[in-house]
A and B are shown apart, each in its own frame.
Chain A
Amino acid sequence: MSDYQVEIRDTAERYPCGGEHSLLKAMAALGRKGIPSGCHGGGCGVCKVRITEGEVSTLVMSCTHVSEEEKAQGYVLACRAFPRSDIALEVVGGMRKCITRRRYGFV
């Protein structure tokens, strides 16, 4: 499969991604940054993005993180989205934040 181009709008990061790799996997394998990397299985939600340009196919995602309505609006988990064209996206997810910003160890 030929590589598509993926652009992370938030950071202007661009990287190639073959149709057989998820948007997140291709980014991580190349050592690029921008989309938070978590479980890579559709369960944790940290890699949530909104596709602003292009088409993706997706594998099953935890409905808690992406509802059917959100999917229709272009929200996907990057670890479960595979490019079918060149892609532009915005990062929506992120590591869980806490108001206290790590004043209490893990929290």
Chain B
Amino acid sequence: MAVMRIGHINIRVLDMGAARHHYENVLGLLPQAEDAAGNVYLKGWDEWDKYSVILSPSDHAGMNYVAYKVQHDADLDLIKGRIEALGREAEMVAAGALPFCGRALRFNMPSGHLMYLYAEKEFVGKSVGVTNPEPWPDGLNGAGAHWLDHCLLMCELDPEKGVNKVAENEAFFREVLEFRLTEQLMVGPGHVVQAAAFMTCTSTPHDIAFVGGPQMGFHHASFYLDEWSDVLKAADVMGKNKVKIDVTPQRHGITRGATIYFFDPSGNRNETFAGLGYLAHPDMPVITWTEEEIGSAIFYHTGELKESFATVYTEGV
């Protein structure tokens, strides 16, 4: 009944050649297909479905949509019913509408971001296979990212106007999609405004996150590495390739993850993220960060919020 895991993200890029070099040689994703419209399909070596990233050529950067996978095809009908019971629209699209996928449910989050759910995608297998596998494959490029881990979406937040799309998304994901809140950031007088919500549908600290800002957008897509040494090597790879790093290797307070934030050649933000901070079992108590500690929540070592982190992002739709 619940959503199983993140499936793929569709990112718009201004220069496909530069984008492919970034995602394939810096991040280390593996190309799987290219279609007639110029879309490029990529996956991490440790993923078994056909792709987790679609790069689409465009004249403006940003995210088109994010797609999550459900375990059973019947879950799509169940969730469609829940969305419609709220008076919101949800459309079932035929197999192939999402490339290499079965039928899918298409709807907008309360924040306006476009989301798909699907149950079936073409299987290709991990690079190491399933029979007596090696722990990692030879020939990995760059950071050798394992998989697409999560995305963070900017949601309109304007308490003076009574607008809080972070809270609306949190409620939607909890009630309709059965995600669980793991961590939140509470701000304003009395700390009653939810300015950030981190949610899981697995047992990692987050499979999706929502942060409040003046307008909705796409903050980052995150790719998983094992540990600090992999993060530092990834930073070397970025330096070698003159990648624009937003935040050098740092610990997050939220999720306890080790992180680097950087931009792809079109200005879309990426993250390489390492470590399982904790197991977010269904009965884990929610973690709350308060406004005064925002700096430490995001950047635990420096304890200071970086201007660009909060204000620089590409379009979310």
Contact = CB atoms under 8 A, between A and B. Distances in A.
Interface string B1-45: 000000000000011000000000000000000000000000000
A38 B82 CA distance: 40
Interface residues of B, number: 41
Given A41-B264, A43-B268, A43-B314, A105 B60 contact: no
Among A60, A98, A107, the one with the most B-chain Cβ atoms within 10 Å of its Cβ is A107
Given A46-B311, A95-B307, A95-B311, A107 B266 contact: no
B71 interface: no
A59 B267 CA distance: 13
A64 interface: yes
B49 interface: no
A20 to B, nearest CB: 12
B309 to A, nearest CB: 8
Contact of A62 (B211, B266, B269, B305): B266
A63 B59 CA distance: 6
Contacts of B95: none
B14 A62 contact: yes
Of the candidates B211, B267, B315, the one having the most CB atoms from chain A within 10 angstroms of its own CB is: B267
A63 B60 contact: yes
Contacts of A60: 14-15, 59
B158 A106 contact: no
Interface in A24-45: 37-44
Contacts of A59: 15
Contacts of B188: 103-105
Interface string B171-195: 0000000000000010110000101
A64 B215 CA distance: 14
Contacts of A2: none
Interface residues of A, number: 27
Contact of B212 (A43, A63, A96, A104): A104
Contact of B267 (A39, A100, A104): A39
Interface string A58-97: 0111111100000000000000000000000000000111
Contact of B62 (A38, A43, A46, A104): A43
A39 to B, nearest CB: 3
B209 interface: no
Contacts of B310: 106
A29 B181 CA distance: 41
A44 B220 CA distance: 12
A104 B312 contact: no
B308 interface: yes
B62 A107 contact: no
A76 to B, nearest CB: 14
A44 B195 contact: no
A61 B244 CA distance: 16
Most-contacted residue by chain A among B62, B266, B311 (CB, 10 A): B311
Contacts of B305: 106
B230 interface: no
Contact of B308 (A64, A95, A104): A95
Given A95-B311, A105-B185, A61 B14 contact: yes
Given A46-B312, A104-B193, 19 more contacts: A37-B308, A38-B308, A38-B311, A39-B267, A39-B312, A40-B267, A43-B263, A43-B314, A59-B15, A60-B14, A62-B267, A64-B60, A96-B215, A98-B158, A100-B159, A100-B160, A104-B188, A104-B291, A106-B305
28 contacts: A37-B308, A38-B308, A38-B311, A39-B268, A40-B244, A41-B244, A43-B62, A43-B267, A43-B268, A44-B312, A44-B314, A46-B308, A62-B59, A62-B266, A63-B59, A95-B308, A95-B312, A96-B214, A98-B158, A99-B158, A103-B188, A104-B157, A105-B187, A105-B188, A105-B195, A105-B294, A106-B294, A107-B213
